[in-house]
Structure 1
Amino acid sequence: MKVALSFSGGKDSCLALYRLEQQGYHVVSLITTIWKEKQETVAHGEKLERIKKQAERIGIPVHFIETDFAGYTEDFVRTLKDLKTKYEIDSVAFGDIYLEGHREWGEQVAEKADVAPIYPLWTEKHKVLDLLREFVALKFQARVIKVDNTKLPENWVGRLVDESFIADISGKDVCPLGESGEYHTTVFDGPIFRKQV
């Protein structure tokens, strides 16, 4: 199956890519949504250059969707249809973990574009810490680039996601993987990367 992966450059989408590859899927394109006005990624506020460098090191082309809040869904569907023509994709994958609303949106978008939705990380809420442990055990290297300072300390920006991070976030009343936006990361090394920095 040829798959396009919704890609932020963070831990969830990178672990999703790893899982897809392990399961024998052929990921032919990464899709990253960016705000038209700011020219930065939607969820993480990342600069495009960092995403381009990640995609280059991973060895999979990235396709940017310039969008705004009003046209987000429509722009995503149109892009999937374009990728279906260009790469002959038959599936789109998302790194969502347990939020039903996110999954429903992805399934609706996939249906409109006539491709199958895939959720390689989907699990029960109480099992998310296992995913974070798996991410670290696989020797992914990630750094926190943004936090919701109503939920986590501002000085966590810059922290590495490692055993110490797992221990600290386990003691907080938040999702250990930041599924509700508690924190965002960038991944700079790990088993999906074919080229070194």
Structure 2
Amino acid sequence: MTPALLSWSGGKDAAWALHRLRQRGELDVVGLVTTVTEGVERVSMQGIRVDVLEQQARATGLPVLQARIPHACDNATYEAAFAAALRTAQDRWPGLRDIAFGDLFLADIRAWRDASCARIGWRTHYPLFGSDTASLAREMIAGGLRASLCCIDTTRLDARFAGSDFDDVLLAGLPPGIDPCGEHGEFHTCAWAGPMFAAPLDLQRGETVLRDDRFAYVDFALRGASTTTTH
């Protein structure tokens, strides 16, 4: 099999992409790469703590590489940080040049990823792209994926959904026009159990914080860790 990295957000789509890739057997995922915001030490956009990220990686049996970016980050800075992480990966796995993403249907995001990766000699793969999101959401849940909503865009979805489990109850309760997988940015998730993990993560829910007068972040922490922190 061709060795590859997987872009890992810590959410359901990345987790299910890993499961799908392992089922297909076409790519051998050797590691994960995650964008982390410096200072707050959390996965960018998802807001997942780095220690939770590391626990997720251990549960997958894969190492995780961090592309570290500043809190205020433009595209050029992001691309440079991501490229540096990919160079680190190639130092560790010589000849590595394939990377997979969990994107579902946003063609503009895919085109941007394709172009930025091609410029530095990497090939892109999208094991979930084009999936019907309602069917995919049901497939994830039926397949044993467990995740919780860790970030809500309150301009799109009511903050009361923050912290909810990604399950059949959630899908039934989403308002009309909300994508079942949150693919228009309505919500992001933290995956904590499923067939891609050797064992479930033991997480506890902490405070919910509103940032930028828009994003409601739920602080999920490893059991026993302090939940008083900034996002």
* TM-score, normalised relative to structure 2: 0.80
- 2: CA distance, partners of 1:130 / 1:84: 36
Q: Is the 8 A contact 1:76 1:109 kept in 2?
A: no
Does residue 29 (structure 1) correspond to residue 31 (structure 2)? The answer is yes
Q: Is the 8 A contact 1:77 1:112 kept in 2?
A: no
Does residue 47 (structure 1) correspond to residue 63 (structure 2)? The answer is no
> Which is further off, 153-162 or 79-88?
79-88
Cα RMSD (Å) = 1.4
Match of 2:66 among 49, 64, 67: 64
CA radius of gyration, larger in: 2
Match of 2:117 among 105, 110, 115: 110
* Equivalent residues in 2 for 1:1-197, closer than 5 Å: 1-24=2-25, 25-68=27-70, 69-70=73-74, 71-88=77-94, 89-123=96-130, 127-169=132-174, 171-197=175-201
- 1: CA distance, partners of 2:67 / 2:182: 24
Q: Is the 8 A contact 1:78 1:113 kept in 2?
A: no
CA 131–196 in structure 1, closer or farther in 2 if over 3 Å, else same: closer
How many angstroms does 1:196 deviate by? 4.3
Q: Which amino acid aligns with 2:155?
A: T
Q: Is the 8 A contact 2:149 2:165 kept in 1?
A: yes
Aligned residues between the structures: 194
How many angstroms does 1:45 deviate by? 1.4
> Which is further off, 77-86 or 133-142?
77-86
Q: Is the 8 A contact 1:80 1:113 kept in 2?
A: no
How many angstroms does 1:117 deviate by? 0.2
Structure 1 runs (4+) greater than 4 angstroms displaced: none
SS at match of 1:107: helix
Q: Is the 8 A contact 1:2 1:28 kept in 2?
A: yes
Q: Percent identity?
A: 30
Q: Where does the alignment leave 5 or more consecutive residues of structure 1 unmatched?
A: none
> Which is further off, 95-104 or 107-116?
107-116
CA 37–114 in structure 1, closer or farther in 2 if over 3 Å, else same: same
- 1: CA distance, partners of 2:181 / 2:163: 16
Q: Where does the alignment leave 5 or more consecutive residues of structure 2 unmatched?
A: 202-231
